[in-house]
Amino acid sequence: MSAPIRASIADMQQHTQPLCNPVPWLADLIAGIDRVMKVASAHAVAVRVEQAIRSVIFGEPATPAAWRAFDTWRPSRREIYRSSAHGYQIVALTLAPGQASFAHDLGSTWAVYAPLEGAMEVTEFVVAKRKGAMTSMRTKDLHIWRRKETGTILRPLDIHATRNPSEHEPVVALAVYGRALDQVNIYAPHSKTTYRRQRAGLGTACA
């Protein structure tokens, strides 16, 4: 098996590509998410967002062709929608065959992932010790989410890495973030269990 394609730290200052032609189910998805954003618990909100995604999207047969285009050096992020009323963000993520991200966190928010094509491998980490920028952590769980499946990343297990396990096809997934995610902490490997934390921007977006 070939080694995963992983972006450099500099490349993780990811560009966010605009989507100029909204998909036909976007209005229904936004309405479904808007209805659940007033729930107090982050876990309860995420569960209901998963339900909204499954009810709206998984009946649609086709993924927009533009979303399949990938960058071999870094994951592609295409913002679909950013809510001015509730603050959440919907992004289409595309990973090239074999591509992997660095471990990264979600700041103070949560994420729901929903593969539209292919499978997404998600590894969750648990922190053992922090000292300055150095963080010791170990793998907690490994998930493989496939088309018509959804998964949630929540604190305190929000440090995670994503990977496309296919060596032949890209993976296209929706990501819904509880708050717009413009910056994250990236954890670059320093030794077998130690990582160096570094702030990275995810770029700016237009709808």
Higher pLDDT, 155 or 49: 49
- What are the structural domains, with CATH classification, of the chain? 15-201 (2.60.120.10)
Under 8 Å between Cβ of 6 and 68: no
Burial 42-54 (b: 16+ CB within 10 A, else e): eeebbbbbbebbe
pTM for the full predicted model:
0.85
pLDDT tens per residue across span 119-134: 999 999 999 999 999 9
Q: Is residue 20's pLDDT more than 80?
A: no
pLDDT tens per residue across span 87-121: 999 999 999 999 999 999 998 899 999 999 999 99
Q: Which two tokens stand for residue 7?
A: 């972006």
Q: How many helices (H) and strands (E) does the chain have?
A: 3, 14
Mean pLDDT for the chain overall: 85
pLDDT at residue 57, rounded to an integer:
80
pLDDT at residue 131, rounded to an integer:
93
Q: What SS3 class is residue 191? A: coil
pLDDT tens per residue across span 152-196: 998 877 899 999 999 999 999 999 999 998 889 999 999 988 999
Cα–Cα dist 36/46, whole Å: 9
- Calculate the alpha carbon distances from 24 to 4, 29, 59, 157, 178 in Å: 34, 10, 12, 34, 22
Q: Is residue 40's pLDDT more than 80?
A: no
